Amino acid sequence: MSSTSPDPDYVEWLSAIVNAENHREYKDTLWFLASRTFFYSMNEDANRVADAIDLRREYKDTNSRHLVFGEPSVLEVLVALAERMAYISYSPWEINHTEYWFWKMLKNLGIKHYYSTELIGRILDRWMGRKFSENGQGSPFPLLHFCYTSVTNPEKDQRKVEIWYQMQCYIEQNM
């Protein structure tokens, strides 16, 4: 439940990726997500941290700025997940798929713009602490029905499935 002090330009850059301009009422919420450190309990979810670090590299490459970063934030991880989802689910429609998936994940988590930071913090702790429902309710990826995460790991309880495979199943069921 730690927090960091995010760089304003970097947060604006991340916000632009998910077209936060169309969701102005969430500005404070996004800042809170940027200040909350992402934590995980499954070793495989370290890959989501790596995705967030890739966003930092992209920012540095496009903005020629050197920033001192701590641990990745929840905002970084959710933006990186949304980019992965957009890539996997690409269709020729003229929409911003990263924006679509990011805001869908916030909705699935149950985060509303008018919630207090304390309540949002509890929602995030429930997700990252894997205290959501077996079917993924309370996470970014609630499932309609059981989904094989892999041939070798037919786990039904989404609390025991790494975020990557939760995401895969969610996309499969929502395309």
Total Cβ atoms within 10 A of residue 51: 18
97: closest CA among 11, 175, 8, 4?
A: 175
Tens of pLDDT, residues 123-162: 999 999 999 999 999 999 998 877 665 544 556 788 989 9
Tens of pLDDT, residues 32-89: 999 999 999 999 999 999 999 999 999 988 887 777 778 999 999 999 999 999 988 8
- Supply φ then ψ for residue 146, to 5 degrees: -55, 145
pLDDT of 99 strictly over 80: yes
- Specify burial of residue 82 (Cβ count, 10 A radius: 0-12, 13-18, 19+): buried
- Specify burial of residue 122 (Cβ count, 10 A radius: 0-12, 13-18, 19+): middle
Q: Which residues contact 95 (CB under 8 A, 6 or more apart)?
A: none
Picking from 1-15, 22-36, 156-170, which range would have the lowest pLDDT averaged per residue?
1-15
Domain extents for the chain?
8-134
> Torsion-angle region of residue 72: left (phi > 0), alpha (psi -120 to 50) or beta?
beta
